[in-house]
Amino acid sequence: MRIFSTLYTRVLQWAAHPRAPHYLAGLSFAESSFFPIPPDVMLAPMSLATPQRAWHLAGLTTVASVLGGMAGYGIGLLAFDAIEPLLHRLGYWDQYLQVRHWFATWGFWAVLLAGFSPIPYKIFTITAGVVSLSFPLFVVASVVSRGARFFLVAGLILWGGEKMERLLRAYIDVIGWTLVAIFVVGYLLWIR
């Protein structure tokens, strides 16, 4: 099935849309506080479609993601009782407990690692609020880690250029299904 190549072509078309940066910022904000899809899925094709704006897009993604992280922090600080049932229902409760343990052990460093990793960042932002992690340290860790991640994505796309685009187009379905398989195996190992 060539689902990912069709989606990839569509995302490249969306990336050229005049309002695409607004959508990227909205996705980046939402992903840091409640939405499950990471902004990399828009940042990479947008950087490929408009390489002259790749650094600007990485900066926009970083700022919106950090602002979304602040919203997640606020959710954890002020409204955790209201979202706790949602964490149970969506299957995030065990992840939340693990992240809470990491905060008790590493605090700032947990946010720094989470912002760069593929672990759902919203879990860390909400937990940071729940445990009342120092807000300035939270913001610094978010800026550094999210910025490093998004500027790395934009830089790799710029570095690879059209050659990377051709390779990506040729192998996008293999990459997509491999990532789905890794996610499923990881999830199954996580819930054990």
CA 183, CA 191: separation in Å to the nearest integer?
A: 12
Q: How far apart are CA 95 and CA 58, in angstroms?
A: 28
pLDDT at 16: 75
Range of the domain at 10: 3-191
Dist. CA 65–CA 127, nearest whole Å: 16
Mean pLDDT of 13-31: 86
44: exposed, middle or buried (Cβ count in 10 Å: 0-12, 13-18, 19+): buried
> Per-residue pLDDT tens for 50-105?
889 999 999 999 999 999 999 999 999 999 888 888 888 888 888 888 888 888 88
Angle at 154 between CA 166 and CA 50, to 5 degrees: 65
The pLDDT value recorded for residue 66 is 97
User: How many percent of the chain have pLDDT more than 70?
Assistant: 90
CA distances from 123 to 37, 46, 95, 103, 164 (A): 13, 26, 7, 11, 32
pLDDT at 35 over 70: yes
Total domains in the chain come to 1
